[in-house]
Amino acid sequence: MLTASAVLDRAFVVGPVRPRTFGTFVEHLGRCVYQGVYEPTHPTADEAGFRTDVLELVRELGTSTVRYPGGNFVSGYRWEDGVGPVGQRPARLDLAWHSTDPNTFGVDEFMAWAKKAGVEPMMAINLGTRGVQEALDLLEYCNVPGGSHFADMRRANGAEDPYRIKMWCLGNEMDGPWQIGHKTAHEYGRLAAETARAMRMIDPDLELVACGSSNAHMPTFGEWEATVLREAYEHVDYISAHAYYYEDDGDLASFLASAVDMDYFVDSVAATADYVRAARKQSKRVHISFDEWNVWYQRRAESRPPTGDDWPVAPVLLEDRYNVADAVVVGNLLISLLRHTDRVHAASLAQLVNVIAPIMTESSAGTAGRAWRQTTFHPFSLTARHATGEVLQPAVTAPPVSTARFGDVPAVDLVATREPETGEAALFVVNRSTTEPVGLEVDVRSLGSARLVEALTLSNLDHTWQASADDATSVLPRPNGTAALADGGLSVELPPVSWTVVRLAS
C-alpha cells in the first residue's frame, strides 16, 4: 500500500472558515427555476409555488448564499418583467440559452424563496444591455424602505420591508464574447466603477463584486483583472472567478487533480489584485468571489441549447448526471477553496437544482415528480456542516501521481478546520490515485487530547456509478472502519478515487 503523512498544527491558521464559501447559484437556465425550485403544480408545492421537497434538500445541503438570476441570463434581463401581478408579466426571449422566460418567478419570488430556504441572497445586475440607471432602480426596489418610486412599487407588490441585500455582482462574465453586451476590460472597468460609485450613494455598505475572467484559459486572463481593477479598485470589494474546465475526458488521473488548476487560478488572481493594490497605493485588499465553479461536461448533448424557431420554456439543459469520481473532484475543489480562505471570501457552486447541480428533480407532469441527491451533494453537504472555526493548513508528504495535464501531483490532498472554543476538528481528504489505496498517518498532537468522533468515506469499486431517482442511496459516504487514533497519531486507509472526512473532538 502507498503511504502518506501529514502534520496538523493548530498554530498554522490560514484564516476563518467563511460561511459564504458554501454558496450556490440559481439562474434562469433550463429547469433550475421552473420545475426546479418553483413548480406550482407539483404535489409538494407550497402556497407560493415553491417545491418543498427541494427546499428540504437545499437546507440539508447547507448552502449559505445563493447567487441570482445569472449567469449569462442576467446580461439580457429586465428585472421589471418579473415583478407585479403574475398574469400581467410579459414572456421574453432569453438569448443566452435560446429559451423563453415566462417571468412568473422574479425578484420578489426569489427573495421569498431565499427566506424560506434560510440563505443569504447574492444579486447580479445586468451590465450587458443595461447600465448605471437600471442598477440603481433595482437597488432602490430591493433596499430602500419606502417613499420613492421603486421602493413603493415593491411595497405595492406585497413586500413591505426592504430586502437589504448586501452582495451584488456587477454583471457577469463580461470578458466572454458569448456574453450579451461583451466589453473590453477597459470598457467594463469604467462601467463597473461608475455603477459601484452610484450604488454606494444609496447604500455605502454594499459588498460589490467586479467581473473577473470567465476562466483561467481566457486569452485575456490576468490582464483583464489588472485592467478592471485599475479602473474600479477603490469601489469594489471582490473580483470574481469562474471555473468549469473540470471534466473526465478519458484522462481520469488529470481529472482527479483538477484542484491544482483551481489553486493556480486563485493564486494568480490574488497576485494580480495585490499588484494593483500596490500600484494604486491602496490600503484595502480586494478579495475573490469564486461565484461559479463545478464539474461540467460541456460537450455532452444536454449542454447544447435549442436553435432556430424553438424557444421553449425550461428546456432540459446542462443536466449532467454525476458519478463517484465527479463527487471526489467536487470535494477536492472545496478543499482548495478552504485552504485559500484568506483570499476566497465567497464561492458559489453552479448550480443548485437540475442544471449541473447536486439536486435533481422530476417534473410532476406525467411522473412521480421525485427529487434526489446526486453524488456531488454529499461532499458539499458534509463539508458545509463540519467545516467550522479556523482553517488549518497541514504539512503533507505524499507519493506522486503522474498526470498528463499537471505533471506529478501528490496522491493525497487535504485541509483541516478547527473550532478554537470547543477543540472540535475536521480533516477533509482525497486520494487522487486511480488504482492504489493510501495509508495516511497524521500527527495531531497539537490538538491535545483528541478523540475520534467519525470517519466517513465516499468511494466505490466502480467510480462511474451515478445516482438516479430510482437509486440515490446505493453509494453514500460510509463509515471508514480503518480510522484509528492513538498516541497523538491519526491513521486511516483511503481507497483509490475517494473523498473522506474525519472528525475529532477534545
Q: How far apart are CA 105 and CA 48, in angstroms?
A: 10
Taking the alpha carbons at both ends of the chain, their separation in whole angstroms is 31
Residue with cell 443595461: 130
Q: In this structure, what C-alpha cell is assigned to residue 240?
A: 470574481
The H-assigned helical ranges of 286-371 are 324-339
Residues taking part in catalysis: 173, 292
The predicted model gives 76-83 an average pLDDT of 98
Contacts of 502 (CB under 8 A, 6+ apart): 426, 427, 429, 452, 454, 455, 480, 483, 490, 492
- pTM of this structure: 0.96
Do the beta carbons of residue 420 and residue 446 sit within 8 Å?
Answer: no
Do the beta carbons of residue 394 and residue 316 sit within 8 Å?
Answer: no
Mean pLDDT, the chain, whole residue set: 96
By DSSP bridging, strand 451-458 and strand 498-505 are: antiparallel
pLDDT over 90 (residue 335)? yes
pLDDT over 60 (residue 366)? no
Instruction: Read off φ and ψ for residue 490, nearest 5 degrees.
Output: -100, 130
CATH class of the domain defined by 2-10+389-505: mainly beta
CATH class of the domain defined by 18-386: alpha beta
Q: Beta strands of 58-136 (E only): which ranges? A: 65-68, 92-94, 99-101, 120-125
pLDDT over 90 (residue 79)? yes
According to the model, what pLDDT value does residue 368 have? 73
Tell whether the torsion through CA atoms of 17, 67, 377 and 116 is positive or negative.
Answer: positive
- The residue extents of the domains of the chain are 2-10+389-505, 18-386
List pLDDT tens digits, range 165-184: 999 999 999 999 999 999 99
According to the model, what pLDDT value does residue 123 have? 98
Q: How far apart are CA 242 and CA 290, in angstroms?
A: 6
Instruction: Read off φ and ψ for residue 36, nearest 5 degrees.
Output: -110, -90
Q: Which of 79, 88, 136 is nearest to 109 (CA)?
A: 79
382 CA to centre of own chain: 15
Q: Beta strands of 153-284 (E only): which ranges? A: 167-170, 207-210, 238-243
List pLDDT tens digits, range 144-163: 999 999 999 999 999 999 99
List pLDDT tens digits, range 485-497: 999 999 999 999 9
